Amino acid sequence: MIIDLRSDTVTKPAKGMLDAMMSAQVGDDVYKEDPTVNALEERIANMFGKKSALFFPTGSMANQAAIKLHTNPGEQVICDKYAHVYNYEGGGASFNSGVSCKLIDGHRGMFTANQVVESINPPDFYHSPLTSLVAVENTTNKGGGACWDFEDIKKIRTVCDTHNLGYHLDGARLWNALVAKDETAKQYGEVFDTISVCLSKGLGCPIGSVLVGDDALMKGAIRIRKIFGGGMRQVGYLAAAGLYALDNNIDRLKEDHKKAKDIGVVLHELSIIKAVEPIETNIVIFELESHVDESEFIQQLADNNIQIIGMGGGKLRMVTHLDYTDVMHEKLLSILSDF
Ligand SMILES: *Cc1c(COP(=O)(O)O)cnc(C)c1O
């Protein structure tokens, strides 16, 4: 038994999801003739109270399409220094959109409306790049699954309105935030211009992300998706997994959150561990005491069939998910307690 806690992307579709995929009605989605993709897009657009939604192969492509939609080359995107769009999308913002990022030194990947105001370049000052977009991430990945306070998100909307900026949410793990904070997709749809959500993280699909927005923006999105090479044909087999996941795998995220908290409690008590970041959702980030060798610690866990990853800067990460079972959980807690 391998206990794989490297990411919530390691899940494999189980029987119910596979059955849904195999019995999907499909068509050519580049001609918008795939009924299952159309159903998924309509359902997610409705959840967020947006006019339109578009299926993407990856969250990175959905985010990059959003950046392209909201910016022109030479302009600047405001995001946190931990942002996935800045750190983990291969430099796509500069490669695809020719934009730079103004990084905010936030708290666990989150920042305030005042910090946004301070980061906006004066539009008449032609020496500096024109600020055109603010990108927020909820939950924050590198920030340890932290959830934004919705009031802060609304205050930033006001700043975007005042300064004529686009407002994008990287909601790869927004489902976790909705469950943890008892929020609704609609309230997010009211505030953001575009939102990307992943089906392939906590929801357990093999592939898939969806970008939502209003009609005019999304008309641009389908063109950009085509340019990025993301126009797919009988992709309803994958959209069917998404529909199945929306029905079956959202509420259960609380189990992942509870297990992550249990892990945090055990880690807290270990003398080799210096700090455990607050655990709000399914991500556990912790630091070892300086005398403990990081790679040795990871290897010792690996010898016990437990896989975790380093996040750099002495931080380690465990992520709970659909395929991390109760039996694995008991075993992990008992192995950790013996460290
Ligand atoms: C996983 C993730 C994405 C998208 O990743 P893909 O692997 O391209 O699907 C985007 N943002 C965050 C915060 C993520 O964790």
Question: Cα dist. 110→120, 121, 299 in Å?
Answer: 17, 20, 32
Same domain, 181 and 222: yes
Q: Which atom of ligand 1 is nearest to the CA of 61?
A: 8
Residue nearest to atom 2 of ligand 1 (CA): 172
Same domain, 189 and 306: no
Residue nearest to atom 14 of ligand 1 (CA): 172
CA distance 63 to 71: 12
Same domain, 132 and 259: no
Same domain, 137 and 285: no
Same domain, 164 and 288: no
Same domain, 185 and 57: yes
pLDDT tens digits, 62-71: 999 999 999 9
Same domain, 282 and 210: no
Q: Which atom of ligand 1 is nearest to the CA of 209?
A: 9
Ligand 1 pocket, mutate which of 9, 64, 79, 141 (most atoms under 8 A from CB): 141
User: 167: which strand partners?
Assistant: 134
Tens-digit pLDDT string for the chain (339 aa): 999 999 999 999 999 999 999 999 999 999 999 999 999 999 999 999 999 999 999 999 999 999 999 999 999 999 999 999 999 999 999 999 999 999 999 999 999 999 999 999 999 999 999 999 999 999 999 999 999 999 999 999 999 999 999 999 999 999 999 999 999 999 999 999 999 999 999 999 999 999 999 999 999 999 999 999 999 999 999 999 999 999 999 999 999 999 999 999 999 999 999 999 999 999 999 999 999 999 999 999 999 999 999 988 889 999 999 999 999 999 999 999 998
Question: Among 220, 248, 276, which residue terminates a domain?
Answer: 248
Instruction: State residue 87's pLDDT score.
Output: 97
Same domain, 22 and 122: yes
CA 292–ligand 1 middle distance (angstroms):
30
Q: Which atom of ligand 1 is nearest to the CA of 201?
A: 1
CA 265–ligand 1 middle distance (angstroms):
27
CA 195–ligand 1 middle distance (angstroms):
13
CATH number for the domain spanning 327: value is 3.90.1150.10
CA 7–ligand 1 middle distance (angstroms):
11
CA 3–ligand 1 middle distance (angstroms):
22
CA 288–ligand 1 middle distance (angstroms):
26
Same domain, 165 and 293: no
Boundaries of domain holding 224: 15-248
- The total domain count for the chain is 2
Instruction: State residue 178's pLDDT score.
Output: 98
Question: Among 248, 268, 291, which residue terminates a domain?
Answer: 248
What is the CB < 6 Å shell around ligand 1?
A: 58-60, 63, 84, 137, 141, 170, 172, 198, 200-201, 209
Of the chain, the end-to-end C-alpha distance in Å amounts to 20
Ligand 1 pocket, mutate which of 84, 176, 228, 285 (most atoms under 8 A from CB): 84
Q: What are phi and psi of 149, to 5 degrees?
A: -80, 125
Same domain, 244 and 271: no
CATH number for the domain spanning 47: value is 3.40.640.10
Same domain, 135 and 278: no
CA 254–ligand 1 middle distance (angstroms):
20
Residue nearest to atom 4 of ligand 1 (CA): 59
Same domain, 237 and 255: no
CA 25–ligand 1 middle distance (angstroms):
28
Instruction: State residue 1's pLDDT score.
Output: 92
Question: Among 201, 229, 248, which residue terminates a domain?
Answer: 248
